[in-house]
Structure 1
Amino acid sequence: MDNNLVMQQSAEKFSELHLLGSMQGTITHNMILSCPYLSAFSLYLLSNSSAQLKESQSIWNLASSNLILVHAGLAPLLKVTEAPLHFQQMIVEGPAPIKSSDGIAVISLTPHAVLPQVWDKLVSGVSQTEECFLLNQMAKMLKTETQPLLPDKSLPPASIQLLKQILDTRYAEKLTLDSLSKELHWNKYKLDKDFRFYYGCPPCKYLLNVRVTKACHLLCSTNRSVLDIGFAVGIENTSYFIRMFRKHTGMSPLTYRTHFSSLVKDIHKAQKAEEH
């Protein structure tokens, strides 16, 4: 399918999101995060420097690439613990694509996430159709390429942390809630309930998100076939893999490979040109 047609169809589906503005800068001490518009939300993309976020009684210690979603009316304090910290802010009008607790969501990017590259493309100046398309893709990536980061005061129990580690690293295996509950010696209903509480979704959905993220990385970084990639992420039924991938990303694996492989190459070329 032609990429322009894909973008147009995606824009029509997700036209309720609009980019109102963006900025970037460097923080050496403290900064108040905010969103100036009632019908919008702010997204902050932080570099790898260390920082601490405080809002009400909650404290998040940030030590990797993080995204922070802030709704209007809130003013969490971001305190830099290892200067300088580079940030990018994007203000988006419309419904937030991820759930937030009390108006704030702190999430970390999974390895090999494409979201930062889509972000750079989006704020570089694009047509309205491409803007809607990229916002649509970013909204989906916020669900598939991120993991919620909880305040340090409410870390999950060891059994739930171990379950998450299994899902993050053994996604290629045939994992079921029954097999996991037996391995962890934990009631499967309790396991499902506790995982939902700490990570915002059931284990089976989290596992699908991990598999989609890994598949996205393989599609953009290798020439492996769709069949082979399905097997590599633990889905042996190719038809189901394609349906599941389309449901999560809005496009087929091959269309995703064509679009985002070229996008990544364009960004790399632009970065090399700037260096020279």
Structure 2
Amino acid sequence: MEKILSVKNLTKKFKRIVVNNISFDVEKGNVYGLLGPNGSGKSTTFGMLLSTINPTSGDWYWFGKKGTDSDTLKKIGAIIEQPNFYPYLSAETNLKIVAEIKGTPYPRIDEVLETVGLLERKKDPFKTYSLGMKQRLAIASALLNNPEVLILDEPTNGLDPEGIIQIREIINNIAQQGITIIIASHLLDEIEKICSHVIVLKEGNSIYSGRVDEMTANNGYFELKADNNTLLINALEELQWFTSVKQEGEVIKAQIRDDASISASTLNQKLSEKGIYLSHLVKKKLSLETQFLELVKNTKNHA
């Protein structure tokens, strides 16, 4: 897979270290999440990658070329801060101004407005737009120059649930066009729904970089229920496939060992051989939130 971006030991120190020796790669055509709480170094990382902040040390390569020059910036669409659109001008006129700056032909304006669902509102003044519509117009602005990469810093910040869903759908549609997307967010749920890959930052340190579905080696867990849960618990513990077996209400949760590979049908067969018949059996994966908390906890333990 072609590398769009390669970051090597990037560090930024102000009065304290804000970004600490982070390294990661971004491959073409994927959606990457830069995940971490406020103050974890996400915006500073973007600032360095776009050459608006000078790094203390480290290197990065866009499209195989070191650093970020003017030619590279033409391939990138970015929203780092809320764009300054003119409030009394229409969305169309605002984008014409941006198009003049970027050297983009006017017909492209209708294309990007359609992408973000604002084509029917293009004649309306910017000041009449909701927060979600303003954010969508900002994405349209970033798409004007047909970028190969789209960088979004907290794109759903402050939006209501409907606005969040709209932005999520737009991002998915843009990704399907083959544009590589990098999103900074502190919202685990959004990263899980939008991104294929994630870089987790904690206090300026990268504690994980990889696929979302491989964030931990965790095999997930089974939810089970039987007429006699005491017998069920004893049987599960005897199988030695699980790191923990515990009852939560009427349901038994059995955490699968990392080195165990077991299907629901295999488990059902083993239990029926012991005379235990299940009324409920579901295999589940841990949510990204649970995996994130486990990851942070393990990092603390190894610190």
Q: TM-score, normalised by structure 2?
A: 0.25
More helix by share: 1
Q: TM-score, normalised by structure 1?
A: 0.27
